[in-house]
Amino acid sequence: MSGNGVRKTAILLMHCPDQSGIVAAVTDFITVNKGNIIYLDQHVDHVEGVFFMRIEWELCEFIVPDDKIEEYFHTLYAQKYKMYFRLYFNDYKPKMALFVSKMSHCLFDILARYTAGEWNVEIPLIISNHSDLESVAERFGIDYHIFPVTKDTKDEQEAKELNLLREREIDFIVLARYMQVISENFLKHYPNKVINIHHSFLPAFIGAKPYHAAYERGVKLIGATGHYVTTDLDAGPIIEQDIVRISHKDTIENLVHKGQDLEKIVLSRSIEKHIERKILTYKNKTVIFS
Amino acid sequence: MSGNGVRKTAILLMHCPDQSGIVAAVTDFITVNKGNIIYLDQHVDHVEGVFFMRIEWELCEFIVPDDKIEEYFHTLYAQKYKMYFRLYFNDYKPKMALFVSKMSHCLFDILARYTAGEWNVEIPLIISNHSDLESVAERFGIDYHIFPVTKDTKDEQEAKELNLLREREIDFIVLARYMQVISENFLKHYPNKVINIHHSFLPAFIGAKPYHAAYERGVKLIGATGHYVTTDLDAGPIIEQDIVRISHKDTIENLVHKGQDLEKIVLSRSIEKHIERKILTYKNKTVIFS
Amino acid sequence: MSGNGVRKTAILLMHCPDQSGIVAAVTDFITVNKGNIIYLDQHVDHVEGVFFMRIEWELCEFIVPDDKIEEYFHTLYAQKYKMYFRLYFNDYKPKMALFVSKMSHCLFDILARYTAGEWNVEIPLIISNHSDLESVAERFGIDYHIFPVTKDTKDEQEAKELNLLREREIDFIVLARYMQVISENFLKHYPNKVINIHHSFLPAFIGAKPYHAAYERGVKLIGATGHYVTTDLDAGPIIEQDIVRISHKDTIENLVHKGQDLEKIVLSRSIEKHIERKILTYKNKTVIFS
Amino acid sequence: MSGNGVRKTAILLMHCPDQSGIVAAVTDFITVNKGNIIYLDQHVDHVEGVFFMRIEWELCEFIVPDDKIEEYFHTLYAQKYKMYFRLYFNDYKPKMALFVSKMSHCLFDILARYTAGEWNVEIPLIISNHSDLESVAERFGIDYHIFPVTKDTKDEQEAKELNLLREREIDFIVLARYMQVISENFLKHYPNKVINIHHSFLPAFIGAKPYHAAYERGVKLIGATGHYVTTDLDAGPIIEQDIVRISHKDTIENLVHKGQDLEKIVLSRSIEKHIERKILTYKNKTVIFS
């Protein structure tokens, strides 16, 4: 929800071994150098002994030049505290590629938000293994590239996709009900940068046909899970989950229908958190700043 | 929520192969014989081809005597339509036994409702494998029987428990965080009459320590599931489920704490549906009438 | 969610003074005449003494001709039981007009479902008091008519709108964040046929700027309400409501943003219930069949 | 959820006009003096220009003596930044008085948690205008004082209650479905220290009989609200709210019944936040730290 007319800010996401004095040190660095802190949230995982922080400050009077902040911060703090950190600026619009197959509900939801200017993001292209949603892409004036995938052509097609993503300088990928498993090799190029929506309340009903499995088990709630894709199927870090109540009256068709509303909302919330730089991943879990 | 001063009713729960004319036949039987229908809900499972119905009617002017209704219904309809049915009267107070171990939250919630007269039920006794909650039972004036269970004594102790349950004419059993697996033999005596609360959103995190597993997985919601106990661990027919939102800030201790509120509410809702005769089980699923 | 290839059915919605024998009579009428009942749900409002029912049956072997069912039912039952009833056929696609102003989120959500064929409905036209969303209508190939409304031109413009709606044989209207009050005269033409989405949990925050009011009051949840429009502002029969959790961290802008997801889902659920003929209104309330 | 065996901490809650450098200054004060920060959360209300913070640190090596922290902090920071602050220690058990009337569900829920040691709180006494719940208090071994209130005796009775509360050194009061309005004079002695549960989703259905009003309006959700009591009826700062779904099938009796589960959970969550020193009030709103 960053927009026009807002002041330029820097956003720092970091984690490091927990120790006293970090908050004071980092906030002091910013304040002393005339940065105006507008957001600070931190979290300590006492089990792992890890400190996490997200801090955002206005740059208008900050005396360190934008292109030197990373270097200075690295030299003065990151080394000392053994920090892993990433620095972002709010005036950069990240580039998101969409992967789709045949179902349109998530795609429409994302493109509607995009058209309305809800998110600080660019969508340069859509990739699909099918032609079904080409007309949707056309309506919104977005390039649509078809890469049919079979067992034999998978490596080759993924290589082409990666080329295209590189050419268009894509920052992260959203699988909007894309019905193909992404290879380990592909994921190496986008670590914790591929967001998927799984149509169940993970870890229940991993794999294909979760609504059928939910129907068979007779559950009273169905869910959806937005997560980063890792090589372990449906087991990547969870970003967001939600559920909806069902009953014995619901057929599998009803579950699919009710689930679609969940899927699109949960996926869009996950994307938004990613765009807003509010997610830190650590081991196989996420810290989601508010 | 049946109470005093209400008129006597009969409640019929039934299922049979789906075919046309059942609703008309059954409602006609009741209406023609001067029963006043105050509740009717039905459900057709088109996949299995099974018809389910719950119907309740006032008996004040019903011309079939109470103790003949079952026989008449069996002869005139159940045989013809191959029905499985059960008949209840609202003036009978079912007898519920509670099984507990060391945690008090579900027990207190149940006894508070009992004391307030929320449910049409008797609680003649509490059984436990520990003495921890004896003082709670005493406060509410309910018999507390301790049957310590070890691997070697399990059969013997369950036999004693069954004797006691038979003596006290117990109709159904609630495991209010009872930390013992019930044997197959025991369950034969109470088929679909033992209600358990599992502290996860089943089928996620089956078995022991679900909050630890939820923490490890990094889920964003935790759940609780009320279900009938079958010989297949945590896999019996689900009665009720609910969830609560958590975040990366929650420790395992927090999950346990937040989960306890869920557990007690979900368990009490499950018990209430059972007492109100609103549950039909079929295969491994439930039909929950509203 | 009715679709192609399904068998033709009749749907009867009715209410009448409660009395015994109605279910038996109506189901008997259908069964005896070889209709196959596939849905029956009923409700008795014991306070008002009113009986409500929705019943749906397959017509393939029904011996009463489709165009005679209404007459027969009126003659044989409706008169006798003082019923108010409406009869629908599932092979008729109702015609829905959308009214919009400047915000696109509800419009996109509806058109995405329409394009995906989720609903048994036609959308012949969109009416607006502004030109902002014309390009959205164009993308989906739907006629867009602009009727700018001022205090002075309101009567005249509404007359033109009514003409257009009549010409296009519109059955019901959806106000998808249309920022104009509809006049009493207009509503006479579409009684309980104009669905609105109000961006609060009614009856809290009636009127304009509910998110501002929610922010001022410091509530911890915000809501949305789908309802039929009556002459009493925001006080018509409620169809559907839902909420989302907020916190002190949420600005008014955040509330608006979070609320939009609620609004579109709640509005679409309300529309779906209307299309599926699952709503009965009585006095100022709704009976929503499942 | 503070408990035994935990290390002694200080908790500082503060707000002041927003300005840069506060976080750095306060965290520096603690760190430099060898306090180990284990919790920090802050919030800026950009509309009001107010900065809020909750910070907690371990005292074992803190070089400022416990009984001097308040003075030092006042002198060194509070004056400079125009702060309003309060300091608490986790080894003090606050004293809570319960006010009840005739309904037991909230009382039981609180006493069950108390007995199980869920909260860091003492409950020295229960006050009521009726004798109905005396037996409940006895079961839990808590003093029960009856102060019947009529229009004429209200002032006098409140004076007696205040005396008793003072004698027993009560820190805060919980109205657990206490059906009397508290006077302005009484509230002066406990500003933002009287927690009430209102049985509706405020600001909908202010005042008496909210379930009746909800039934009349035909809402699809009912709610409960935990809030601090102010002189403006049901308009004090909201701490927590939640809702439960209802339908046309629910009678007023059902709403009351479903609402009771909500009330007790929402009230207990509100109390817990208060005990954990996680609430800051500002104007008529709350900041609830996580």
Give the tens place of pLDDT for each residue, D149-163: 999 999 999 999 999
Residue-wise pLDDT tens digits, D72-111: 999 999 999 999 999 999 999 999 999 999 999 999 999 9
Return the pLDDT at D247.
96
**Active site annotation includes D67:** no
Q: Does the beta carbon of B12 lie under 8 angstroms from any beta carbon of chain A?
A: no
Both structure tokens of B35: 């029963």
The rounded mean pLDDT for chain B is 95
Smallest CA-to-CA distance from A225 within A233, D145, C179 is with A233
Q: Does B247 touch chain C (CB under 8 A)?
A: no
In chain B, which ranges are continuous DSSP H helix?
22-32, 66-73, 79-81, 105-116, 134-139, 154-167, 184-189, 210-217, 252-275
Q: Across the interface, do C23 and B42 touch by the CB < 8 Å criterion?
A: no
User: What is the model's pLDDT at position A51?
Assistant: 95
Residue C3 confidence class, pLDDT cut points 50, 70, 90: very low
How much is the average pLDDT of A22-51? 91
Helical packing angle, A252-275 and A105-115, nearest 10°: 40
Identify the chains in contact with D, defined as 3+ C-beta pairs within 8 A.
A, B, C
Distance CA C112, CA A136 (A): 10
Confidence band of C5 (pLDDT split at 50, 70, 90): low
- Res A6: pLDDT: 79
Find the helix packing angle between D252-275 and B252-275, rounded to 10°.
160
Question: Which of chain A's residues have a Cβ under 8 Å away from the Cβ of C226?
Answer: none
Cβ-nearest to B220 among A43, A238, A249:
A238
pLDDT at B207: 85
Looking at every residue in chain D, the average pLDDT score rounds to 95
Structure-block tokens of residue D221:
């959700």
Q: Which residue matches tokens 């690295």?
A: A74
Interface test with D, best of B38, B100, B108 (most D CBs within 10 A): B108
pLDDT score at B273: 98
Least confident of A170-174, D12-16, D18-22: D18-22
**How far, in Å, CA of C210 to CA of C233, rounded?**
14
| pLDDT at residue C92 tops 50 | yes
- Cα D32 to chain centroid distance, Å, stands at 33
User: What six digits make up the tokens of C287?
Assistant: 């009976």
Is residue D2 predicted with pLDDT exceeding 80? no
Q: Tell me: the pLDDT tens digits for A266-286?
A: 999 999 999 999 999 999 999
Residues of C in contact with B46 (CB under 8 A): 38
For residue range C40-89, list pLDDT tens digits in order.
899 999 899 999 999 999 999 999 999 999 999 999 999 999 999 999 99
User: For residue B2, what pLDDT is reported?
Assistant: 41
- A6: three-class secondary structure by DSSP: coil
Rounded CA gap, B260 and B248, in Å? 19
Would the pLDDT of C222 be above 50?
yes
Structure tokens at D258: 């479903």
Q: Which of B45, B66, B232, B234 is catalytic?
A: B234
CA distance C277 to C54: 9
Q: For tokens 């030197």, name the residue.
A: A68
Judge whether residue B77 has pLDDT over 90: yes
Whole-number Å distance between alpha carbons of A288 and A277: 9
Q: Which of these, B67, B65, B97, B73, lies nearest to B13 by C-alpha position?
A: B73
Q: What is the pLDDT of residue B4?
A: 52
C contact chains, 3+ CB pairs < 8 A: A, B, D
Q: Is B115 on the interface with D (CB under 8 A)?
A: yes
Residue A51 in contact with partner chain B when CB distance is under 8 A: no
Better-predicted residue by pLDDT, A27 or A278: A278
Buried b (16+ CB within 10 A) or exposed e, D68-103: ebbeebeeebbeebebebeeeebeeebbbbbbbbeb
Does residue D5 carry a pLDDT above 80? no
Q: Is the pLDDT of residue A2 over 60?
A: no
pLDDT at D269: 98
Residue-wise pLDDT tens digits, B82-139: 999 999 999 999 999 999 999 999 999 999 999 999 999 999 999 999 999 999 999 9
pLDDT at C4: 52
pLDDT higher than 50, residue D186: yes
Task: Look up residue B105 and give its two tokens.
Answer: 């939250």
| pLDDT per position as a tens digit, C161-172 | 999 999 999 999
The helix/strand/coil state of B197 is strand
Per-residue pLDDT band for A208 (boundaries 50, 70, 90) equals confident
Interface check for A157 against chain C (CB to CB < 8 A): the answer is: no
Q: Write the pLDDT tens digit of every residue in D201-244.
A: 999 999 889 999 999 999 999 999 999 999 988 999 999 999 99
The reply to whether C104 touches chain A by the CB within 8 Å rule is yes
Measured CA distances, D205 to A119, A289, C228, D229 (Å) = 37, 34, 21, 16
pTM to 2 decimals? 0.95
Q: What are the pLDDT digits (tens) for A252-261? A: 999 999 999 9
Best of D18, D20, D244 to substitute, by most chain A Cβ atoms within 10 angstroms, is: D20
Q: Looking at the complex, does the CB of residue B265 fall below 8 Å from at least one CB of chain D?
A: yes
Q: Which two tokens stand for residue C23?
A: 């279910």
Decide if pLDDT at C274 tops 70. yes
pLDDT of residue B5: 64
DSSP track, A26-39: HHHHHHHTT-EEEE
pLDDT tens column, B220-230: 999 999 999 99
Closest CA to C195 of C97, C108, C52: C97
Which residue out of D15, D220, D283 would a mutagenesis test of the C interface target, given it has the greatest number of C Cβ atoms within 10 Å?
D220
CB-nearest to A38 from D21, D38, D44 is D44
